[in-house]
Amino acid sequence: MKECTTDITILNGSAAYNDGRQYLDFAQITCYPGYRLNGTGNNNNVSESVQCLETGNWGIPRGCVRKGKLQNQVYKQILKVKHTGDWREPRGCVKKVCAKGATVENGNVSYKDVNEYLDFAQVTCFTGYKINGTGDNNNVSESLQCLHTGNWQTSQGCVKKECALSIDVENGSPSYNNGVEYLDYAEITCSMGYRIGGRGDNNNVSERLQCLDSGRWEIPKGCVKKGK
């Protein structure tokens, strides 16, 4: 009885011979993480069997390619042995591909034309927003990596910038009852005997300052002594 003694070489995959190497035995082809069997169109198809043929050669495997825009699992492939006793040539393994489907609330995601295993997509927050959890108003972008599963890393997301509780007005005081996030307002109230500067109206003793997209408050006009 003929045997398939030659090992199978597969790009981006490996072969196991647990069933044996004799005629009609099977070798098992398994793609590396991030890869699937070529020609199947199924990211979950990561292995195949290749049979030992009567010639002593293995059947030709389909090989491994990068995963596409599907929910990805581990791939493997079995190589059959040809009637010659040789294994079929394996199709090889290629990197998985992450789909251009990641979404981030209050932000945009930009991709390369093809996004393979270990590649990065870029998240950029909208104006007035920052990356969640950083505490830094200047941190408005992050990178997401394409994982071995064929899925993107989870984004931290984008949240509104916050303005500090630090408005300093001579002869007046601020209140932050409306909130301190982007587009919220702080209220400036002048002390008794003072009015808002620049208006010439003694009854105008308060003003509103908006939290800007920079994470800073508008500049107050200040409080000046009332006139006659």
**Exposed, middle or buried: residue 123 (CB in 10 Å: 0-12, 13-18, 19+)?**
buried
Rounded mean pLDDT of the chain?
Answer: 86
- 98 in a structural domain: no
Q: Mean pLDDT, to the nearest integer, of 207-215?
A: 95
Give the Cα separation of 70 and 59 in Å (integer): 28
Residues 136 and 192 in one domain: no
Q: Mean pLDDT, to the nearest integer, of 132-137?
A: 87
Residues 156 and 176 in one domain: no
| Residue of 94, 92, 127, 89 lying closest to 108 (CA atoms) | 127
**Going by DSSP bridges, is the β-strand pair 47-51/76-80 parallel, antiparallel, or unpaired?**
parallel
- 167 in a structural domain: no
Give the Cα separation of 123 and 95 in Å (integer): 23
- Each residue's pLDDT tens digit, 22-55: 988 999 999 999 888 887 777 888 999 999 888 8
Residues 70 and 36 in one domain: yes
Q: Mean pLDDT, to the nearest integer, of 65-86?
A: 56
State percent of the chain over pLDDT 90.
50
Tokens of 174: 């601020």
Residues 25 and 70 in one domain: yes
Q: Mean pLDDT, to the nearest integer, of 134-152?
A: 91
Residues 149 and 184 in one domain: no
Residues 138 and 178 in one domain: no
pLDDT at 154 over 70: yes
Domain limit, last residue, from 138, 160, 182: 160
- 47 in a structural domain: yes
Say how many domains are in the chain: 3
Model pTM above 0.85: no
- 101 in a structural domain: no
- Given a contact cutoff of 8 angstroms between Cβ atoms, the answer to whether 174 and 164 are in contact is no
Residues 184 and 211 in one domain: yes
- 7 in a structural domain: no
Residues 17 and 44 in one domain: yes
- Given a contact cutoff of 8 angstroms between Cβ atoms, the answer to whether 3 and 64 are in contact is no
Residues 60 and 22 in one domain: yes
- 41 in a structural domain: yes
pLDDT for position 70: 41
**Please, which contacts does 71-74 make with residues 24 or more away whose CB atoms are closer than 8 Å?**
71/43, 71/44, 71/150, 71/151, 72/34, 72/36, 72/43, 72/44, 72/96, 72/149, 72/150, 72/151, 73/43, 73/44, 73/46, 73/149, 74/30, 74/31, 74/33, 74/46, 74/47
- 19 in a structural domain: yes
| Residue of 3, 73, 70 lying closest to 31 (CA atoms) | 73
- 91 in a structural domain: no
Tokens of 219: 């500049």
pLDDT for position 88: 65
**Residue 145 structural domain:** 107-160
pLDDT at 77 over 60: no
pLDDT for position 164: 92
Task: Give the Cα-Cα-Cα angle 188, 190, 192 (nearest 5 degrees).
Answer: 155
Give the Cα separation of 190 and 172 in Å (integer): 4
pLDDT at 181 over 90: yes
Confidence label for 162 from pLDDT (cuts 50, 70 and 90): very high
Confidence label for 74 from pLDDT (cuts 50, 70 and 90): very low
| Residue of 161, 218, 213 lying closest to 188 (CA atoms) | 218
Domain limit, last residue, from 160, 183, 198: 160
Q: Mean pLDDT, to the nearest integer, of 59-87?
A: 63
